[in-house]
Structure 1
Amino acid sequence: MSIFLKSVFVINYLKESLLYLVFVFFLTGVLIFLGLFVGQKWRSEWAKLTAFECGFDSLSSARNPFSLRFFLLALLFLVFDVEIILLFPYIFSVVILWVKMSQFSKMMCFLFLVVLVVGLFHELNEGTLDWKFD
């Protein structure tokens, strides 16, 4: 008797899973048809057909002058961004563990902040952050 009940449960489970599978395939078909029907493949503008190459025309000459100021600013952004990310754990450790921190770790964190500030003043003095046009 128990084998009969188990086979009935298995058959019901298979029917239910088949119903879910049919529903998923139906929904997938409806969404694919809707995407093909609503999609705008008929629009052929020249800007949409060209590849985007960092704001430059991909079909122009590669020998156009590129401002070194943009490159330096991007490089500085990356360096200072990484340093800011390294600064977050220091801030949390100071807030939570200032009393328990050793003098060596306090001095290393202070030295890290000094290097950050000296680097920023060096970049300001060098004129990398000034946006005066030549």
Structure 2
Amino acid sequence: MLFGLAVLFAAGSFIASGLLAPRNPTNAKRAAYECGIVPTKETPERFPVKFFLVAMIFIVFDIEIIFFYPYALAYGSLGVFGLVMIMVFTFAVFESFVYLISNGALEWGPLKQVARPSGAVSPERTAESTIRRVGLENRPIAEETAA
């Protein structure tokens, strides 16, 4: 009976909303609201894959911490065997983290091409290549004005 009452209330709420809602939609009301900032791009934009990669890395380490909880509870009764097993587990997860860092999984920003003395070009991250100076695009840099 309580479930039926909940379904009846939900259906009644939807029907009342459809009947009583004002019907004067405009383009401004249909547009996506971005915290008062005028939208500069179309709304459906894809997120870079790096966001999902960082989320998956977070989940892996979060689960590792969850596995530490039962070990902490049974620490006294496990002895040396438990310590060795948790160290092996921690090493395996830490090794995967080192692998991710060595492959550049957590690297952000554009790469700046820097010429080496041998003439080869290699990507290097610098403050000039990764920091966007907002509002300074058409202004001279301080070093140029001093010269």
TM range (shorter): 0.3 to 0.5
Structure number with the higher helix fraction is 1
Greater relative contact order, per chain length (Cα 8 Å cut-off, separation 6+): 1
- Give TM-score scaled by structure 2 length: 0.44
Select the structure of larger CA radius of gyration: 1
Q: Which has the higher strand share?
A: 2
